[in-house]
Amino acid sequence: MIDKTFVFGHTNPDTDSIVSAISMANLQTELGNNTQSCRLGNINKETAFALKTFDFEAPTLLEKIEDNSNVIMVDNNEFGQCVPGIENAKIKMVVDHHRFNLKTDEPVHCVTEPVGCTSTIIYKLYKQNDIDISPKMAGIMLSAIISDTLLFKSPTCTVEDKKIAEKLAKIADVDLYEYGEKLLKAGTDISDYTADQIINIDSKPFDKNDIKFVISQINSADVDGVFTRKTELENSIGNEISKNNLNLYVFLVTDILKGDSKALVLGDKSNIFEKAFSVSLDNNTVLLKGVVSRKKQVLPKILENL
C-alpha cells in the first residue's frame, strides 16, 4: 500500500526493539498514519514472556525492505544492525537511545536521548501527542524499560526511566519488582539453545578503522553454568570470526543478580580488549566487575582503543 510506514528496531531484536516497534506503530496509527510494526529476527524468551503476559502478537518478520519504503527506525540508527535495503529506504523518523551513527541525504525527524530505553522516549511521545496508553501497551513498554535497564541496575538507567516505569506499572496494574524479576528470569533460560543460537541472541556488529568486531551479550542467573559450555561457545565464535572476517568477538555473560559480566573474548585483535579494560585474559575470559552495559561500559572503551 502506498505511503505505508514500516517501524522496526535492530536485528537480533531485544524486548525494547520489539516493543518500541509495536508502541510506535500504534502511536502513528492513533495519529492517523498507515503504519506497520515489524521485527528483524526471532523473538527471544524474555520478549515472548512479555508479549504473552500482556496478550500481544509478535510483529511481522521483515527480511528486506523495498526501495523507497517509508520507515521509522526505533531502538537503532545503524545500517549495519538493520534490515537489508535500508540504504535505499526513506527514513521518516528515528527514535533511539544509542550513539548517533546515521548519515542521510534528506532531513529526518530524530528523537534521540541518552536515556536507558527507547520506550521511555516513546512514552513521552504519547504524552506530547495526547494519546492514551492502554494497560496492555503500558505492560510491554514497562517490560522494555525493565529489560534495557536490568530492573534499574544498569548505569544507563536514568531517573526518568524509573519514574516512567513506575507510571507504566500503575497503568498496567502490575507489581513492578515482582514482575520485573520474573521477566528477567524468563530471558535467562538457554538450556535448549545451541551454542550458535546463544551467541546470536543479542549480538551487534560494529566497525571502525577497518577493524570489524562483534559484542554479543546474554543475561544469566547462573554464569558458571553458561561457562560449562565454553568450548562449544568458543567453536561457534570461531566460526563467526572466520565467516565474517572479524578481528574481535566479545561475548558478555551478564549476571543479573550481581551486576557483573564475564567476558569470553576471541579474535586476532583481542589485545585491544585487554588494553581497553587494562586486563589480561585468562583462557580467553575475564570477569568485569560492575559492567552490565554494552552501550555505555563496553563499546566506548573498545572504540577509544581502535
From the list 8, 11, 12, 14, which residue makes contact with Mg ion (rule: CB under 5 A)? 14
Is 10 or 269 the residue whose CB approaches Mg ion more closely? 10
Q: Which is nearer to Mg ion, 14 or 161 (CB)?
A: 14
Nearest approach, Cβ of 242 to Mg ion (angstroms)? Answer: 26
String of contacts with Mg ion for each residue 34-63, x by CB under 5 A: ------------------------------
The residue (of 112 and 270) whose beta carbon lies closer to Mg ion is 112
What per-residue string of b and e applies to 131-165 under the rule 16 or more CB within 10 Å gives b? Answer: eebeeebbbbbbbbbbbbbbbbbbbbbbebbbebb
Taking CB atoms, the residue at the shortest distance from Mg ion is 16
Among 75, 161, 240, 255, binds Mg ion (CB under 5 A): 75
Q: Measured between alpha carbons, how far apart are the two ends of the chain, in Å? A: 45
Strand ranges for the chain from DSSP E: 5-8, 35-39, 60-61, 70-74, 90-96, 109-112, 203-208, 211-220, 248-255, 260-266, 285-288
Question: Considering the complex, what minimum distance in angstroms separates the CB of residue 226 from Mg ion?
Answer: 17
Stretch near Mg ion under the rule CB under 5 A, chosen from 83-91, 118-126, 154-162, 252-260: 118-126
Cα–Cα distance for residue pair 5/2, rounded to 1 Å: 9
Distance from C-alpha of 185 to C-alpha of 201, rounded to nearest angstrom: 15
DSSP of 131-157: -PPPHHHHHHHHHHHHHHHTTTTSTT-
CB of 48 to Mg ion, least distance (A): 16
The alpha helices in 158-264, defined as continuous H runs, are 159-172, 176-186, 195-199, 223-227, 230-243
CB of 201 to Mg ion, least distance (A): 10
Q: Could you tell me which residues come within 8 angstroms of residue 209 by beta carbon, excluding any fewer than 6 positions away?
A: 306
Q: Could you tell me the smallest distance in angstroms from the CB atom of residue 134 to Mg ion?
A: 21
List binders of Mg ion among 133-152 (CB under 5 A): 148
How many chain residues interact with Mg ion (CB under 5 A)?
Answer: 6
Give percent helix, percent strand, percent coil of the chain, each to the nearest 5. 40, 20, 40
C-alpha 92/C-alpha 107 separation (Å) is 8
Which range, of 73-81, 135-143, 204-212, 234-242, touches Mg ion by CB under 5 A?
A: 73-81
Q: Does residue 16 belong to the site contacting Mg ion (CB under 5 A)?
A: yes
Binding mask 148-187 for Mg ion (x = CB under 5 A): x---------------------------------------
CB of 117 to Mg ion, least distance (A): 5
CB of 235 to Mg ion, least distance (A): 25
Residue 231 CB, nearest distance to Mg ion (Å)? Answer: 27
Residues that bind Mg ion (CB under 5 A): 14, 16-17, 75, 118, 148
